[in-house]
Amino acid sequence: MVRPRGEIKVICQNEKCKYYLKEEGKDIIKRGKYSIGHQRYYCHHCKTFFMETKGTPLYHKHLSKSEIINICKHLVEKNGIRSIERITGHYRDTIGNLIEDLALHAELVS
């Protein structure tokens, strides 16, 4: 007897799939993890793999989730980019690129 699948809350991230960003009719399963530790998903409709962070500001970042949250907390406290650089130890271009990605994502969401 086959074990029932757990509920998966991600949606297909392939723009060519007919179930792209659709909740109904999706057929997505977990398929292991990437070397950096993120969950890997597989869509049976378009037969592609994708990462759980695709479509978020965390995608393709070399910073951990906790480091990004820490940088965002310093931004909310009205610290400048150079002061965040001194506090966190990350280069200011990295922080600037993260801010740009967060702003773009916020614009797309709203």
pLDDT tens column, 21-78: 787 877 888 888 877 777 888 988 889 888 877 777 777 777 888 898 999 999 999 9
**Rounded-to-integer distance, Cα 32 and Cα 24, Å:** 24
pTM comes to 0.64
| pLDDT score, position 25 | 75
3-state helix, strand, coil in the chain (%, to 5): 35, 15, 50
How deeply is 104 buried, as exposed, middle or buried, from its count of CB atoms within 10 A (0-12, 13-18, 19+)? exposed
pLDDT in tens, 70-104: 999 999 999 999 999 999 999 999 999 999 988 98
